Amino acid sequence: MILFSSEVFSILIYGSLILTGLGFLTLLLLLWRDARSRSIW
């Protein structure tokens, strides 16, 4: 049986958490940008 290595496993976990954090920040930044240009709606 070929198994996923510890490195691949770590990349998946850390990658998913980093992406989630970046996603959260991106949403806030975009809202701030849209609010400044009065283009939220």
Partner 1 sequence: MGAEESVLTPSTGWIVLTIFGCAWIGLGYYWGRKAKNLEGFMLAGRDVGLALGAATAMATWVTSNTIMLAPLFALQMGVWGVLAYSTASFGLFFFAPMARRIRRLMPKGLTSGDFIRLRYGRAAWGVFLAISLVYSMAWLVSMAMAGGIVLMALAGIPYVYGMSVILLVCVIYTLFGGLYAVIGTDFIQSAIILLGVLVVGVMVVLQVDIATVHEDIVTFQPALLDVLMPVALLALFNNMFFGFGEVFHNNVWWSRAFAMREGIGLKAFSLAGFLWLPIPVAAGFIALAAGSLGINIVDPDMAGPLVAGEILGSAGAVIVFIVVFCSLGSSIDSLLASTSDLLAEDVFKRLINPTISDAQLRRVASLLIVGLGVVTWLICLPRLGRLNEVLFISGPLVGSAIWVVVFGLFYRRVNRHAALAAMIGGSTLGILAYYTIGWFTASLVGAGVSLVIIVAGTLLKPGEFDWETLDEHSSNQASESA
CB contact at 8 A, 31 and 40: yes
- Binding flag, residue 33, partner 1 (CB under 8 A): yes
Nearest C-alpha neighbor of 8 from the set 22, 19, 41, 16: 16
Q: Taking the complex as a whole, how short is the minimal distance between the CB of residue 16 and partner 1, in angstroms? A: 4
- Binding flag, residue 39, partner 1 (CB under 8 A): yes
Query: Longest C-alpha distance within the chain, in Å?
Result: 57
Contacting positions for partner 1 (CB under 8 A): 1-4, 6, 9-10, 12-17, 19-21, 23-24, 26-28, 30-31, 33-34, 39-41
